[in-house]
Amino acid sequence: PRPSTAAEAAEAPHEAATARPSAEAVPMTPVKPAQVPATAGHGAGAGGAARVAGAQAEAAVPAQSGPARAAQPDVTVIVAVYNTMPYLTTCLESLLAQTLGTARMQIVTVDDGSTDGSGAVLDAFAAEHPGLVDVVHQANSGGPAAPSNRALDLARGRFVFFLGADDHLGPEALERLVAAADAHGTDVVAGRMVGLNGRWVPKAAFERQRHDATLGNSALAWALSNTKLFRRSLIERLALRYDEDLPVLSDQPFTLAALFAAGRASILNDYDYYYAVRRYNADNITYRGGPEPRLLGTERIMALTGRLAESPEVRDRVHRRHLEGELADILGPALLELDREAQERITARVGALVREHATDELLLKVPTAARIRLLLARAGEVDALLEALRFEQRHPRLPLLIRGERALLDHPALGDARLGLDERFFATDASLTRLDGLTAALALDARRRPCLTVTAHSPLPGYGGPVARLWAETFRPSGASAVGEQFIAHPALVSYAPAPDGGTTVTARVPLGLLLRQTHLGAASGPWSLRLRLHGRAATGSRTHELGPVGCDAPVKLRAWRGPHLFRVSATVGAEGELQLSVAALSLVRSLKRRLRPTPRAAQEGKT
């Protein structure tokens, strides 16, 4: 099994922890955010049941004396639970291990009708840690929204953090998150996520540490899960609660509303804060949500974005995330497996969203194959859409045409007069990533300067036509430095030549003078990796692509001068065959002494 969408797999770690029967199978009273005061239940039926269940839980786990606690904890951690054993144990243990200290924490867990013993584990955990844990038991509600709302009613902390019951935290996570919120006055703080067991997480959102992030100036739109630190006063001021009639994606409207109101947020990439776990049986709700429940959630999200976005630019940025994420995936291969009535119904609903929220200019920013699916849905062309999906299945690597400076997807809808889709909608820069055998060799150039020669092969003739610019970056991942990822951009001299097989040979010569300069300044000693970046021409979207990993042609050690300074530059093979560069400044005096030092044999001859 695979995630229903890569974006959804990242956006719903909290929902992933609460997989359960569908909402249709469980009667529930939908509750709108404005109808739920901070201290109320979730409607007449659900609220009363929750209160009774809460009283029963309190009776089962009587209050006991424990460590002294603050009048108001710093953080309330909310864990909605439905059949998450054995992952729940690791989740709870990660909370006990927090360096923040349990005296500054409140844990609220809501068992949403588990049948695998999760509820008993929560009761035992609360009994072992009196005063720290609140446990609520309630009938299954069909989704994570209702237990999350119930937990919010019990929250007392200055901040609230939502933790999926499948997932766990790094030991310093809460302490670092709270410190950032207090130091910078931000109402929402997102910490770097790590995916386990193949779980996809939004890495792009955490490329840069910052405290001025918004939906308009960062990749936060691609990281809309609720697994963040929220200032509780913001939640209560906005009367924020989850829509309980959304079985999936209920956390995205909550997070969006908070981010729009907060103005700016903190993004932290200096630590592994959140570990999102994919269950080995792929039973997370993230991997099980059907197309129509996800479509319902996406309709709510796009309507909310249209109401709250402060500018057309921000609105379109968030819409783009849902066009190329949720909607393009709903129109994915699974559509072929549905009956005709469902295919027509889903296509019509997606088409209505595209007509309402997406201009042609916005659609041109969506990846080409997904863009064509959305355009066919907008036109109500169900049969053409199904044929497009079959075409994609037949061609895992979609065929391309190179026409001068433009690359086009060689799609069955291209040139179809009846469909009337403009050729510009088929323009793609996917050709720019089609490079094989990407390797680099280190040597001294004619002027005795260290230089990398990177070679690669493209199966496409005329590959260089759509390439506007290509450069190289030496970089160190964020884990290698306390300040996050470091990189140095190097200009590259690029040439293209026809290959014997009809493709294109690409050669890029990359001088390393900037790396030597940074080493001399004390900022670049140690190992570096290499990647290529290239920018497509306007005809193919003007996007920047990252190419890598770059392999090492052969291990090399050499010495090079930059002005009066001497350096040692080494190229070695990394654990996965990738190029690893190391640069170190050398002492000229020590080097001369080493050169002039007699060999053991010469020293012996001198004595005799």
Q: Where are the domains of the chain?
A: 6-62+72-287, 297-428, 432-595
Whether the predicted pLDDT of 288 surpasses 70: no
| pLDDT band per the 50, 70, 90 thresholds, residue 35 | very low
Examine the pLDDT at 374 and tell me if it is beyond 60. yes
Residue 315 in tokens: 């609105």
Q: What is the distance of C-alpha 561 from the center of its chain? A: 42
Q: Residue 25 is encoded by which pair of tokens? A: 């199978």
Cβ atoms of residues 527 and 580 within 8 Å: yes
Contact 559, 567 (CB under 8 A): yes
DSSP-based three-state secondary structure for 259? helix
Q: What is the dihedral of CA 513, 517, 522, 526, to 10 degrees?
A: 0
Residue 4 pLDDT > 50: no
Query: Could you tell me the pLDDT band of residue 68, with boundaries at 50, 70 and 90?
Result: low
Q: How far apart are CA 579 and CA 217, in angstroms?
A: 33
Query: Is a pLDDT exceeding 90 seen at residue 478?
Result: no
| Distance from C-alpha of 45 to C-alpha of 33, rounded to nearest angstrom | 17
Q: Give 568-591 pLDDT, tens digit per residue.
A: 999 999 888 889 999 888 876 555
Taking only the tens place, the pLDDT of each residue in 384-422 is 999 999 999 999 888 888 887 888 899 999 999 999 999
Largest CA distance in the chain: 105
The full DSSP string for 463-524 is TTTTEEEEEEEEEE-GGG-TT--EEEEEE-EEEEEE-TTSSEEEEEEEE-HHHHHHHHTTS-
- Quick one: how far is CA 189 from the chain centroid? 15
Quick one: pLDDT at residue 549? 81
Neighbours of 411 (CB within 10 A): 24
When pLDDT is cut at 50, 70 and 90, the band that residue 177 belongs to is very high
SS3 388: helix
| pLDDT > 60? residue 483 | no
Most confidently modeled range among 37-41, 585-589, 593-597: 585-589
Are the beta carbons of 248 and 11 closer than 8 angstroms? Answer: no
In this structure, the strands spanning 75-81 and 105-112 are parallel
For residue 590, what pLDDT is reported? 56
State the residue for tokens 């919010």: 152
Top pLDDT among 42 and 211 is at 211
Q: Architecture of 6-62+72-287 per CATH?
A: Alpha-Beta Complex (3.90)
Region 105-119: mean pLDDT is: 96
DSSP 3-state of 376: helix
| CA-wise closest residue to 16 among 308, 375, 321, 274 | 274
- Cα-Cα-Cα-Cα torsion 344, 350, 351, 356, nearest 10 degrees, comes to 150
Token output for 307: 């109401």
Torsion of CA 402, 403, 409, 412, to 10 degrees: -120
8 A C-beta contact, residue 440 and residue 554: no
Dig out the tokens for 604 from the structure. Answer: 């012996």
Assign 553 a pLDDT band (cuts: 50, 70, 90).
confident
| pLDDT value, residue 1 | 30
Average pLDDT over residues 36-56: 32
pLDDT score for 22: 37
The tens digit of pLDDT for each residue in 333-363 reads 999 999 999 999 999 999 999 999 999 999 9
Model pLDDT, residue 594: 58
Burial category of 413 from C-beta neighbours within 10 Å (exposed 0-12, middle 13-18, buried 19 and up): buried
Give 432 or 338, the one with higher predicted confidence. Answer: 338
Statement: residue 551 has pLDDT above 60: yes
Q: Which of 10-24, 254-268, 514-528 has the lowest mean pLDDT?
A: 10-24
Q: At what angle do helices 291-308 and 312-322 cross, to 10 degrees?
A: 170
Burial environment of residue 152 by CB neighbours within 10 A (0 to 12, 13 to 18, 19 or more): buried
CB 310 within 8 A of CB 214: no
Give residue 519's pLDDT band: very low, low, confident or very high (50, 70, 90).
Answer: confident
SS3 598: coil
Average pLDDT over every residue of 213-241:
96
By the 8 A CB rule, do 79 and 16 touch? no
pLDDT at position 59, please? 33
Any idea of the CA torsion for 388, 393, 395, 397, to the nearest 10 degrees?
100
pLDDT in tens, 303-335: 999 999 999 999 999 999 999 999 999 999 999
3 state DSSP class of 248: coil
Q: Can you give the pLDDT at residue 591?
A: 54
The whole-number pLDDT of residue 262 equals 95
Residue 524 has pLDDT above 60, yes or no: yes
| Mean pLDDT value across residues 191-204 | 91
* 466 — pLDDT class (breaks 50, 70, 90): confident
The encoded tokens of residue 460 equal 């496409």
Distance CA 259, CA 118 (A): 32
pLDDT of amino acid 289: 66
Beta carbons within 8 Å of 25's beta carbon, 6+ residues apart = 142
pLDDT (average), residues 12-18: 44
Residue 461's pLDDT band, with cuts at 50, 70 and 90, is confident
pLDDT confidence tier of residue 462, bands split at 50, 70 and 90: confident
Q: What is the mean pLDDT of residues 531-560?
A: 85
Mean pLDDT for the stretch of residues 598-607: 57
Kindly report the average pLDDT of the chain as a whole number: 84
Confidence band of 535 (pLDDT split at 50, 70, 90): confident
